[in-house]
């Protein structure tokens, strides 16, 4: 069907369809669920298009979902284009609804139809389908799954397809990861899984690995395109490994810092701190928030840390500037490409003469390691803030660069780790500060 449109399915796509559409002795799908993970720009979503077109022409009710409205709309446009090139005519063979976010294709020579939707925690409730498609599956969250998984329950022959790339640190979903772990461990039952990937963090600039992990390299994907997208090999290669080599990062689901370890650092009463204050600011990647924290040295040689606030970026930087105007501010560290330059400019315009520190990747690695050492050596203290405890007691390491460095990410789905990251930056600035030397005065 697909090849009749003038496009030609690649060999790896044909082989995948044999697995996806395999049936048992009763003519039912052998895999009621099937997921696959392939690096970007290889045509992995084209398999969803092929399967959806088959369902449309064979009486299936299909729900095509994506994380973004633009993605589901693009799928609708592509299917309309393909079936038109196959020779089918609108109003004679099919009819369509073009409303953005509510696209629909209905086959007039049978019962087949496809609805296109952006996923939400309520999407799909009360509707019944035979085929559920989850595009951009790395963003598929638990609450979305709860709303959607029952939409195919009443079908005699249901199937759910999940397609995406390995999650990055900004991916909100957890369903795709858990499904992969279950299936490759042999606990999937009627499930199927396929992936192209490297087993561990490696050199993303190695062409041999490009060919091993990108099945469309040499056809729709070229070496030249890959070279142009890769970052500097001296920089953090984690993202290149994920996006181009299909790396799945794995972490210990136990929090890097336990609740008990953090509570052991709590102090009662007002801390005896020095007058110099060190501020850490983190613009979050997962959410549109910014967090502010402060640190100061104590009389007994420890470092007192405190989270000040976490607010939406849209509220502006005025509330942060109000804190940074404190005459005892010694250093300010700002991390997050989506806000650090703007805040630095706002500080200058506000008359704050002390220039902020904009940390590099190596600094982020150092700050995380130093904070964790401080926790375990009990050189840190705090005033028992519930919000800070929650994020610290539910954090895990995320790999940074190929040298074993780490930052933090949250175990809790959708939680904002920026509150901890701001504390880490404030602690780093404080720990690396030296006491001001007294100015020598000479008189005669």
72-95 pLDDT, tens digit each: 999 999 999 999 999 999 999 999
pLDDT band at 168 (very low <50, low <70, confident <90, very high): confident
Per-residue model confidence (pLDDT) at position 440: 63
Average the pLDDT over 89-107 and give the result.
95
Which tens digits make up the pLDDT trace of 367-387?
A: 998 999 899 889 999 999 999
Per-residue model confidence (pLDDT) at position 73: 95
Q: How far apart are CA 209 and CA 7, in angstroms?
A: 28
Compute the chain's Rg from CA coordinates: 27
Token pair listed for 54: 């088959």
Q: How far apart are CA 48 and CA 68, in angstroms?
A: 16
pLDDT band at 433 (very low <50, low <70, confident <90, very high): confident
Per-residue model confidence (pLDDT) at position 410: 87
- Using DSSP, state whether 213 is helix, strand or coil: helix
pLDDT over 70, % of the chain: 93
Q: How far apart are CA 82 and CA 99, in angstroms?
A: 19
Per-residue model confidence (pLDDT) at position 253: 42
pLDDT higher than threshold 70 for residue 441: no
pLDDT higher than threshold 70 for residue 345: yes
DSSP 438: P
Q: How far apart are CA 184 and CA 35, in angstroms?
A: 11
pLDDT higher than threshold 70 for residue 68: yes
pLDDT band at 326 (very low <50, low <70, confident <90, very high): very high
Q: Could you count the other beta carbons within 10 Å of the beta carbon of residue 97?
A: 12
Average the pLDDT over 211-226 and give the result.
96
Per-residue model confidence (pLDDT) at position 338: 86
Q: How far apart are CA 175 and CA 138, in angstroms?
A: 8
Token pair listed for 70: 């633009």
pLDDT higher than threshold 90 for residue 317: yes
pLDDT higher than threshold 70 for residue 34: yes
244-247-253 Cα angle (round to 5): 145
Per-residue model confidence (pLDDT) at position 173: 80
Q: How far apart are CA 233 and CA 211, in angstroms?
A: 18
Q: Could you count the other beta carbons within 10 Å of the beta carbon of residue 272?
A: 13
Which tens digits make up the pLDDT trace of 106-163?
A: 999 999 999 999 998 666 656 899 999 999 999 998 889 988 999 999 999 999 999 9
Cα atoms in the 13 Å half-sphere on the side-chain side of 239? 10
Greatest extent of the chain over all pairs of C-alpha atoms, in Å: 106
pLDDT over 90, % of the chain: 72
pLDDT higher than threshold 80 for residue 172: no
Place of tokens 């780790």: 417
Q: How far apart are CA 347 and CA 350, in angstroms?
A: 5
pLDDT higher than threshold 90 for residue 413: no
Average the pLDDT over 238-260 and give the result.
78
Average the pLDDT over 334-340 and give the result.
92
Q: Are 303 and 427 in contact (CB under 8 A)?
A: yes
In terms of DSSP bridges, do strands 289-297 and 277-283 run parallel, antiparallel, or are they unpaired?
antiparallel
Contacts of residue 85, defined as CB under 8 A and 6 or more positions apart, other chains included, come to: 4, 5, 6
Beta bridge partners of 94: 90, 107
Per-residue model confidence (pLDDT) at position 226: 95
Q: Which of 74-88, 123-137, 178-192, 250-264 bottoms out in mean pLDDT, i.e. has the lowest?
A: 250-264
Per-residue model confidence (pLDDT) at position 169: 58
Of the two residues 403 and 219, the one the predictor is more confident about is: 219
H/E element, 13: helix 11-20
Sign of CA dihedral 381, 383, 386, 388: negative
Domains and CATH numbers, the chain: 2-195 (3.40.50.300), 259-431 (3.30.420.240)
Per-residue model confidence (pLDDT) at position 414: 67
- Using DSSP, state whether 380 is helix, strand or coil: strand
- Using DSSP, state whether 67 is helix, strand or coil: coil
For the ranges 30-44, 243-257, 388-402, the maximum mean pLDDT occurs at 30-44
Contacts of residue 214, defined as CB under 8 A and 6 or more positions apart, other chains included, come to: 38, 39, 42, 196, 221, 226, 244
Q: Are 407 and 428 in contact (CB under 8 A)?
A: no
Which tens digits make up the pLDDT trace of 348-365?
A: 999 999 999 999 998 999
Q: Closest Cα partner for 169 from 238, 233, 232, 66?
A: 238
- Indicate the angle between helix axes 46-57 and 69-85, nearest 10 degrees: 60
pLDDT higher than threshold 90 for residue 176: yes
Per-residue model confidence (pLDDT) at position 251: 45
Q: Closest Cα partner for 148 from 167, 166, 135?
A: 135
Per-residue model confidence (pLDDT) at position 252: 41
């Amino acid at each position: 069907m697909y090849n009749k449109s003038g496009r030609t399915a690649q060999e790896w796509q044909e082989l995948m369809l044999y697995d996806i559409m395999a049936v048992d002795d009763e003519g039912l799908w052998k895999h009621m669920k099937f997921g696959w993970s392939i690096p970007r720009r290889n045509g992995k979503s084209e398999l969803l298009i092929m399967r959806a077109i088959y369902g449309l022409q064979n009486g299936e009710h299909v729900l095509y979902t994506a994380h973004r409205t633009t993605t589901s709309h693009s799928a609708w446009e592509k299917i309309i284009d393909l079936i038109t090139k196959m020779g089918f005519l609108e109003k004679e063979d099919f009819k369509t609804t073009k409303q953005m976010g509510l696209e629909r294709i209905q086959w007039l020579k049978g019962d087949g139809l496809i609805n296109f939707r952006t996923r939400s925690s309520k999407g799909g409730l009360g509707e019944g389908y035979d085929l559920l498609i989850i595009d951009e599956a790395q963003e598929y969250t638990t609450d979305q799954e709860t709303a959607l998984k029952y939409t195919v329950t009443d079908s005699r022959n249901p199937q759910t397809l999940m397609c995406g790339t390995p999650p990055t640190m900004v991916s909100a979903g957890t369903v795709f990861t858990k499904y992969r772990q279950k299936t490759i461990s042999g606990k999937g039952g009627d499930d199927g899984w396929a992936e192209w990937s490297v087993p561990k963090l490696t050199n993303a600039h190695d062409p041999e690995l490009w060919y091993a992990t990108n099945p469309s390299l040499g056809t729709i994907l070229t070496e030249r395109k890959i070279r142009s997208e890769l970052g500097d090999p001296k920089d953090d290669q984690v993202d290149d490994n994920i996006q181009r080599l299909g790396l799945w990062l794995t972490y210990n689901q136990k929090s890097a810092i336990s609740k008990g370890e953090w509570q052991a650092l709590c102090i009662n009463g007002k801390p005896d701190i020095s007058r110099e204050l060190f501020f850490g600011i983190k613009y979050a990647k997962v959410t549109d928030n910014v967090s502010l924290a402060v640190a100061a040295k104590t009389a007994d040689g420890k470092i007192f840390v405190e989270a000040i606030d976490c607010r939406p970026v849209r509220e502006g930087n005025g509330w942060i500037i109000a804190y940074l105007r404190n005459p005892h501010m010694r250093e300010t560290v700002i991390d997050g490409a989506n806000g650090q330059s703007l805040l630095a400019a706002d500080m200058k315009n506000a008359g704050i003469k002390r220039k902020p520190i904009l940390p590099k990747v190596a600094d982020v690695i150092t700050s995380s390691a130093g904070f964790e050492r401080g926790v375990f050596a009990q050189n840190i203290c705090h005033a028992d803030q519930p919000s800070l405890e929650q994020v610290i007691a539910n954090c895990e390491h995320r790999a940074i660069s190929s040298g074993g460095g780490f930052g933090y990410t949250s175990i809790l789905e959708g939680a904002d780790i920026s509150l901890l990251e701001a504390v880490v930056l404030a602690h780093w600035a404080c720990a690396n500060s030296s006491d001001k030397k007294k100015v020598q005065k000479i008189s005669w």
